[in-house]
Amino acid sequence: MTGDARLAPSPLPPSRGTLYGVGLGPGAPDLITLRAARLIERAAVVAYPTLAGADSFARSIAAELIADNAREIVMDVPMSVERAPAQVAYDQGAASISDALDAGDDVVCLCEGDPFFYGSFMYLFARLSDRYRVEVVPGVTSVTACAARAGMPLAARNERLTVLPGPLPEEELRARIEGAESVVIMKVGRHLPKIRAVIDGLGLTASAVYVERATLPDEVVLPLADAPEKAPYFSMILLTKGADPWL
């Protein structure tokens, strides 16, 4: 080889796939957006979470769109207040998704509601977005779905909307509701007695609506005063103060 001979260029790395984080909406399959539906229908690889070995709610929403020959990556997330077990599940899921992306396959990851609004997909995004092309497809949020089903506008003009998670300590819930105009309380579940007591103590029970499993066949929409003693995880309380802001 002569002194000015050049090394042959190294082969390009294999083409990597794209990861799509797809919002499915609150539960009714016909609330999946057209963009999300088209991606799911074409997907060779579909990923989704399950909770503690149960059937996947995310998959059930999109079931009619998933191809029979699609490969499915299941992320089983333990039901625990400790963060570590769930983090391990997302680590393992991210590794399986990474293998598919490295092989050149696109991966469509299903996410209830919206991927970036309390969505499970954000944990995969944090693990993979620095190494792969990621596209996020927004979905109808549970907040807007519950407001629609309750017939309850949440904010107009310069109104402020406060979104609170039900597991917050009682005193913090009280302080945040006191300083708010319109309030959405998510992740009600086993925290319903505490939340109900706070709202009642503030004299706001008559302004609050309870919504359970919005858009699903077993949906429940009731004044908070008539809500059941126990609530499922997929339940929400909407509260507005003062005169109707949309009048």
Residue 220, pLDDT score: 97
Q: What is the mean pLDDT of residues 154-174?
A: 94
DSSP result, 31-89: GS-HHHHHHHHH-SEEEEEEETTSPPHHHHHHGGGS-TT-EEEEEEE---SSHHHHHHH
Percent of the chain at pLDDT exceeding 90: 81
pLDDT at 11 over 70: no
What is the pLDDT, as a whole number, of residue 78?
83
Interatomic CA distance for residues 53 and 60, integer angstroms: 14
**DSSP per-residue string spanning 2-32:** -TT--PPPPPPPPPPPEEEEEE-BSS-GGGS
pLDDT tens column, 32-88? 999 999 999 999 999 999 987 789 999 999 999 999 999 999 999 887 667 788 899
> In terms of pLDDT, which residue wins out, 15 or 111?
111
Q: Is there a contact between 57 and 112 (Cβ–Cβ < 8 Å)? A: yes
* Sign of the alpha-carbon torsion through 167, 169, 170, 171: negative
Average pLDDT over residues 119-131: 96
How confident is the prediction for the chain on average, in pLDDT? 91
Residue 242's pLDDT is 63
Q: What is the pLDDT of residues 183-227, one digit of tens each?
A: 999 999 999 999 999 999 999 999 999 999 999 999 999 999 999
Tell me the percentage of the chain whose pLDDT exceeds 70.
91
pLDDT of residue 4 exceeding 70, the answer is: no
70: Cβ contacts below 8 Å, ≥ 6 apart: 43, 44, 45, 46
Q: The whole model's pTM is what?
A: 0.87
> Comparing 189 with 159, which gets the higher pLDDT?
189
Domains of the chain in start order, with CATH, are 18-140 (3.40.1010.10), 143-240 (3.30.950.10)
Cβ–Cβ < 8 Å for 142, 215: no
What local confidence, expressed as pLDDT, does residue 245 receive?
Answer: 40
User: Residue 246 — pLDDT band, cuts 50, 70, 90?
Assistant: very low
**Better pLDDT: 132 or 7:** 132
Residues near 179 by beta carbon (within 8 Å), at least 6 away in sequence: none
Chain-centroid distance of CA 41 in Å reads 20
Q: What are phi and psi of 183, to 5 degrees?
A: -130, 140
